[in-house]
Chains A and B, each alone.
Chain A
């Protein structure tokens, strides 16, 4: 594979302007001082309890996501372009969802094959004809961005269901400011701390029309054993709203209430971090103990707003992903600002045969997978793994897509052998309320800590970095 584009050094030794000050600082700072700060950071994370759980790993029920102290920096110009692209993308996602659950113009125009929607398990027929306040479905989006050169931002994945990671954006910044005040004073880094306020006002702006002037918002979590529980409690705290579980809620006359020490209290907006399947055992999985019986009928009656809306999975599905450029063009009549990764749809025979012929060079993903589970990275896989995947592909081609192995950009990272380039991606968080769309300048930079590795998922040993957007 060719040498990847480096966020700091470009394609060779041409130091990029946004990193000039950091580079100077790194030269002045002795390596053991860095190592010392790294240990301090880890201690802080553990004490604050910023942990996540890895499913199926009982030894490490609570783990820390490794934190790298070298920030990933972006110039104001880069950010302006990215921000514009993200707003365009999320606007299109929302218009697409409205259309899919109402008029379906896009299907009649034959932009997307019908069966990709109707045969899709994440399509929710319950949402057909259901209106949501201000036509917003995706209030919180986490769009995964990668780069392979200085000029383009490429979307790797749209996360329109319950994207997580924003607590790391906020906590990483807190810890960096505590550990490196000097480095901060030498830069002009745009602050991220208003994210909770922006989120709360977005959530309140989409309250049902019959809610009181001061709508009650609650954050719904599956509970302490969920891998992102820390984030749920962190956000509820920052927003000053109750952190509820299904058992705290009850539906009466199609209204949702929480059980409090003073009796029942009506809830107007639920920022839910629970998947569709587990929201309401009466509508979805009857075996789920996490949900609230009757929640969906309160939703249908328009007495509660769920953020994100039910059924948004149809917009971030990997099979739909490959159509995103067409979706943007269809609704906005604009060229997409953010690029897509070239994607082969294995459901199409031509694409499938190409994929089968080139498995060793491709990344193959499950259409419904997430978190880096169940994917094949051709160049890193053994022959046996590739052959096993080939069988899976032949058996169920519609379950997979394939993409080229991209040389994700790299960023200098602390390793056992000193600073070395490691591959990174970026997940900015896009908030949509009734009146506007906001993106707090920054996001979660994930870094693949293993040399050469392209997998940045925290469940697969990835780490995080603070993301600095410089002001003009």
Chain B
């Protein structure tokens, strides 16, 4: 297929995944900020929402204060923010138009309808909390529909695999960023400074990767920060864990390699990261520092994006 087509499919999937992630971040932050201060402590949750979205610095070019109104606006509707939900959907639609021939009509319909709804219903942004909740649901449903249409209707060939690479690379990045911002909440008991206040923070982390129920099924325990870290980093059964994202990335890259009869740098690099995740234990990670581990992962993950681009997309 054309390199440009593969590139568009890759980024299209990333934009949709990112839009959904932003919606879940806003949703989780709203819940935790709605609690009385006695339950969550004094940290500014809206600030950490900005950090997990990776737009902490840019935000302050446009706003004075990180409060609900400003952050929600910046993350969801601002045209100033190139990575706002609105801009993600716009970019996804533009990419879809460029690669219409590579999309199934169901996928196109999902993105195009979302874009039409965005113009028609959400042009001015949600007027109140109730509308905001509706909007966030709309974004998450769009992503589900898009994913579902891709899964159910696309031929299993390179077009599908490049689109999946985008999903998993973006997803790994998102999960890693939450961990990066909140890692201090996830330290083992003896090093932990926060106390019971953090319970709601932990829930919030799980919620932003939609894993609250999953946690209980996997560990059958009350919330323990190191188990949350284990779930999000190493547990291959949780679709948003780093380990699961890398199983998928390795598989999709292998499928491309087999189809093209050639392996390359991206296959090797992805396998390297996957192996490291497979052979890690939470104890070691804590010993060497969660923060360092996550930082390294984020850098490795974005390096994979560059390698894929060089090998296939240009």
Contacts and interface: CB of A to CB of B under 8 A. Distances in A.
A49 B6 contact: no
B108 interface: yes
Contact of B3 (A47, A49, A229, A259): A259
Contacts of A46: 116
A248 B94 contact: no
Interface in A401-420: none
Nearest to A265: B2
B260 interface: yes
A248 B101 contact: no
Contacts of B237: none
Contacts of B112: 47, 49
Interface residues of B, number: 23
A247 interface: yes
Which residue of B100, B256, B260, B313 has the most chain A CB atoms within 10 A of its CB atom?
A: B100
Which residue of A49, A233, A248 has the most chain B CB atoms within 10 A of its CB atom?
A: A49
Interface stretch (A136-144, A238-246, A338-346, A361-369): A238-246
B134 interface: no
B158 interface: yes
B98 interface: yes
B1 A260 contact: yes
B2 A258 contact: yes
Question: DSSP majority for the B interface?
Answer: helix
B3 A261 contact: yes
Contacts of B162: 261
Contacts of A262: 260
A224 B101 contact: no
Which residue of A223, A242, A260 has the most chain B CB atoms within 10 A of its CB atom?
A: A260
B312 interface: yes
A172 to B, nearest CB: 18
B108 A224 contact: no
Contacts of B158: 261
Which residue of A46, A236, A262 has the most chain B CB atoms within 10 A of its CB atom?
A: A262
A104 B1 CA distance: 44
Contacts of A258: 2
Contacts of B4: 245, 247-248, 259
Contacts of B109: 47
Contacts of A174: none
B113 interface: yes
Nearest to A221: B98
Contacts of B256: 261
Interface of B: 1-6, 94, 97-98, 100-101, 108-109, 112-113, 116, 158, 162, 256, 260, 312-314
Given A49-B100, A261-B162, 15 more contacts: A46-B116, A47-B109, A47-B116, A49-B97, A49-B108, A233-B101, A237-B100, A237-B101, A242-B2, A242-B5, A247-B4, A261-B1, A261-B158, A261-B260, A261-B312
